[in-house]
């Protein structure tokens, strides 16, 4: 499914599931920068919105409500993803608000949240770098748990390597990563191909590079 259709369905689902202030906050607080993050960063890297929540409400240390731009909630972690713009409203922020924003982040950390931040400029000009951060986040924090498809130790290492890269992996990449010979790396890749975890990304007679299949991606997302 293409981005625009998936996005519309996802937003509609969250709007319909909320009421009063939480619904108003989503309708008014989810704007251009947030949609840009989804279109330029999240969607190209992940391809779906499962477990991602826009304008997510959390209680602060003063028993009030705060809202996270995006919350990615998937056991065992809760990840707050914040989009930071840079304009007159940020340059002119007073000291009280500046300190309040820092305390807000401290409280999230103390409450067990992990925090990922992106600047608007990076989303505009360095999309691949931002996508790489998302892939590394998924691979590092969600790639250590028991996969549905049974994999051996070295197979898991290769899948994590593939999950953390935007470009396809080659036998040479795998060999260098694992400290093995390229021909052995090729055998491990063939095993993963037979399990429908990776597929060919280049080469016809002889496969030269590989990417994760949809099944492989689901090990992390």
Mean pLDDT of the 178-192 span:
92
Express each pLDDT in 127-174 by its tens digit.
989 998 998 888 788 765 544 566 778 888 898 888 877 788 999 999
Express each pLDDT in 80-133 by its tens digit.
999 987 654 455 556 666 777 788 888 888 888 999 999 999 999 999 899 989
When divided into structural domains, the chain yields a total of: 2
Statement to judge: residues 130 and 167 lie in one domain: no
Confidence check: pLDDT of 21 > 90: no
Statement to judge: residues 125 and 198 lie in one domain: no
Of 114, 141, 168, which marks where a domain is finished? 141
Express each pLDDT in 198-214 by its tens digit.
998 866 667 889 988 87
Residues with Cβ within 8 Å of 37's Cβ and at least 6 positions away in sequence, in order, are 69, 70, 81, 83, 118, 123, 130
Confidence check: pLDDT of 57 > 80: yes
């Amino acid at each position: 499914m293409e981005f625009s259709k998936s996005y519309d369905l996802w937003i509609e689902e969250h709007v319909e599931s909320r009421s009063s202030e939480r619904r108003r906050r989503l309708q008014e607080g989810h704007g251009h920068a947030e949609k840009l993050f989804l279109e330029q960063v999240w969607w190209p890297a992940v391809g779906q919105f499962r477990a991602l929540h826009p304008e997510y409400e959390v209680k602060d240390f003063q028993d009030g409500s705060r809202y996270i731009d995006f919350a990615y909630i998937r056991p065992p972690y809760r990840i707050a993803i914040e989009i930071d713009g840079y304009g007159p409203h940020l340059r002119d922020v007073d000291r009280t608000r500046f300190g309040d924003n820092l305390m807000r982040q401290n409280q999230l950390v103390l409450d067990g949240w992990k925090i990922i931040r992106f600047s608007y400029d990076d989303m505009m000009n360095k999309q691949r770098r931002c996508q790489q951060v998302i892939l590394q986040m998924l691979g590092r924090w969600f790639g250590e748990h028991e996969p549905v498809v049974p994999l051996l130790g070295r197979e898991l290492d290769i899948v994590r390597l593939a999950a953390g890269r935007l470009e396809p992996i080659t036998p040479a990449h795998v060999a260098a990563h694992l400290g093995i010979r390229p021909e052995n790396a090729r055998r491990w890749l063939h095993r993963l191909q037979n399990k429908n975890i990776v597929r060919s990304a280049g080469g016809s007679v002889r496969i030269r590079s590989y990417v994760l299949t949809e099944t492989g991606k689901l090990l992390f997302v």
